[in-house]
Amino acid sequence: MHPVSSDAGRLSSAQRRPSSAAVLSQAASGVVVVVAGAVLVGWALDVASLKGVLPGLVTMKPNTALAFVLSGVSVWLSSGGGPGRTRTAQRRIALACAVVVAVIGLLTLVEYLTGLDLGIDQRLYAESPGAVGTFAPGRMAPTTALNFLMIGLALVLLDARVPRELVALLVLGTGAIGLLSLVGYVYGVTALYGLASYTQMALNTAVMFIVLGVGVISARPDREPIAALFSGTVGGAVLRRLLPAAIGIPLVLGWLVLSGYRAGLYDAVFGLTFFALADIVILAVIIWWHATALHRADAARRSAEDAARNLNVELERRAVELEAANRELEAFSYSVSHDLWAPLRAIQGFSRVLVEDHAARLDAEGHRVLGIVTENTRKMGVLIDDLLGFSRISRQQVEPTTIDMTRLAQTVVAECRQLEPDRDVTVTIDPLPVARGDLPMIRQALTNLVSNAFKFTRPRPDARIEIGGEAGPTETVYLVRDNGVGFDPRHSDQLFKVFQRLHGSTEFEGTGIGLAIVARVAHRHGGRVWADGREGEGATFAFALPHEEGTGDA
């Protein structure tokens, strides 16, 4: 797994994108490969200016250049993304290069420690004896060898299960020795880039180690203790802004002061005092400046946090309000339904009494009008009944159990058949996946769908109903398909709303609550419903229940 490409997607925009670290890493390794490659060309064609930076300075040895090219390739491959298979191949090549680098460093160190000549120094290109700052012809400096051993190990262990600080320490060690040598060149202190009479580290070698260290560090920007450097946190900002200043300013200042001293402009005491004061002032100003910027950023962040917290409080308050409103509404619909019932029964009952006891005094028109009263009372009763059912589905607690859906479907179909025993309806029930849900609710939903299918296939002499189901990766779908009168798909979003009907009540009886109940049941299980159909060509109604226990709506 490659952290750079895989993490980029889920990081917030507030954080520094790790991809910039990958770009840095690739740029650094590219520079190393190009520069070291040029040195190798210099050795091949014997061009002195390519081997060393200035005449009179020690050259970068062929083995050093080779080790740099291999290190650069290793870093470049380690930081580059790519599809899975190529990435594995890349990782293998990167490891192989790293091992070779470490071995070159190790063998050279062995040569220094034992005094043996293993014959590796002149293997690529020969160097004439007596070259500047060179202990044995073609042999790299001991510090360079140590650095290659460390950076090679760091690259081998880059993704290994070792303490992360170990890799960081190896890289920082390499960079520190490179920096030390660079400082030696800048300040003209030979002891810093050459030990005793041993071969010195070349100037370009020192610079390359620093560049390489940056490349390795930014190849894995998400690892502690490097992560802070690339993070969007205040700590990251402090590191990025102050670390270069802390290293660069004393370095440059020291060089300036030293140059003045060597030119005889002032004595050592003055120089040192000036250095200390200038260092203090410049660093203090820079720290102050950055701290002010960070302070502003932090203040802005805090006020944003406060705003978010207030918003949260407000949201919570709204949620509580909504819940209370919902409860009130439910209590309202419950009691309305109940209290509407008794007077309705009275209207109907006493209309009946009128017919039974006082029929003689009513003429034909009186009977007709009374019939309308009775019929509408009946309809009102059905409406209240449905409203109560819907309200109950909304209020009841979902108590999930495992439901044998095939058996449930068989039961429901048998019930529907019983209501219309004279009809010949072909029903096929596929083996259905088991459901996890509230049995009474699921049963109600399935009953509504199946009874709808029975109802809307009534005009068909060859009525067919299919009940199917399929367990998907995240949810299980159940569907009821019929070859009934269907519906215009343009209105499919209307179907699941309370009291919405697509057919006149003279065509098909019903109040329009059945599908609303199906939708409510599905939603309370955290699932969903949908319908598919065509006018005159049948319809399919489906509901899906999520696999994990859905929270559902309130």
In the complex, the smallest distance separating the C-beta of residue 517 from another protein, rounded to whole angstroms, is 15
Per the structure block, which two tokens stand in for 313? 């409080």
In the complex, the smallest distance separating the C-beta of residue 438 from another protein, rounded to whole angstroms, is 12
φ/ψ (deg, to 5) at 17:
-70, 130
Task: Report how far apart, in Å, the C-alpha atoms of 268 and of each of 271, 274, 546 are.
Answer: 5, 10, 80
To which residue do tokens 């030696």 refer? 184
Q: Which is nearer to another protein, 328 or 399 (CB)?
A: 399
**148 close to 101: Cβ distance less than 8 angstroms:** yes
Q: Which of 418, 454, 449 is nearest to 432 (CA)?
A: 449
Q: Which is nearer to another protein, 322 or 353 (CB)?
A: 353
**61 close to 127: Cβ distance less than 8 angstroms:** yes
To which residue do tokens 């043996």 refer? 116
| Sign of the CA dihedral with 258 first, then 262, 264, and 269 last | positive
Q: Which is nearer to another protein, 302 or 338 (CB)?
A: 338
For residue 494, the number of C-alpha atoms closer than 13 Å in the C-beta half-sphere is 12
To which residue do tokens 């200390």 refer? 276
Per the structure block, which two tokens stand in for 461? 């002499």
How far apart are the C-alpha atoms of 163 and 170, rounded to whole Å?
12
Q: Which is nearer to another protein, 243 or 329 (CB)?
A: 329
In the complex, the smallest distance separating the C-beta of residue 396 from another protein, rounded to whole angstroms, is 7
Strand order in the sheet with 464-471: 426-429, 464-471, 475-482, 539-546, 528-533
Residue 400's DSSP bridge partners are: 438
Residues in contact with another protein by CB under 8 A are 334, 338, 341-346, 348-353, 378, 381, 384-385, 388, 392, 396, 440
**529 close to 543: Cβ distance less than 8 angstroms:** yes
Q: Which is nearer to another protein, 19 or 351 (CB)?
A: 351
Q: Are strands 475-482 and 464-471 parallel, antiparallel or unpaired?
A: antiparallel
Q: Which is nearer to another protein, 315 or 353 (CB)?
A: 353
Q: Which is nearer to another protein, 110 or 383 (CB)?
A: 383
Q: What angle do CA 122, 123, 126 make, to 5 degrees?
A: 40
In the complex, the smallest distance separating the C-beta of residue 81 from another protein, rounded to whole angstroms, is 59
Q: Which is nearer to another protein, 63 or 348 (CB)?
A: 348
Q: Which is nearer to another protein, 16 or 392 (CB)?
A: 392
How far apart are the C-alpha atoms of 417 and 403, rounded to whole Å?
22
In the complex, the smallest distance separating the C-beta of residue 532 from another protein, rounded to whole angstroms, is 33
In the complex, the smallest distance separating the C-beta of residue 335 from another protein, rounded to whole angstroms, is 10
Q: Which is nearer to another protein, 20 or 396 (CB)?
A: 396
Residue 427's DSSP bridge partners are: 465
In the complex, the smallest distance separating the C-beta of residue 350 from another protein, rounded to whole angstroms, is 7
In the complex, the smallest distance separating the C-beta of residue 83 from another protein, rounded to whole angstroms, is 57
In the complex, the smallest distance separating the C-beta of residue 450 from another protein, rounded to whole angstroms, is 22
In the complex, the smallest distance separating the C-beta of residue 12 from another protein, rounded to whole angstroms, is 47
How far apart are the C-alpha atoms of 258 and 268, rounded to whole Å?
9
How far apart are the C-alpha atoms of 198 and 461, rounded to whole Å?
105
The four Cα atoms 243, 245, 249, 250 give a dihedral, to 10 degrees, of -30
**439 close to 401: Cβ distance less than 8 angstroms:** yes
In the complex, the smallest distance separating the C-beta of residue 439 from another protein, rounded to whole angstroms, is 12
Q: Which is nearer to another protein, 196 or 342 (CB)?
A: 342
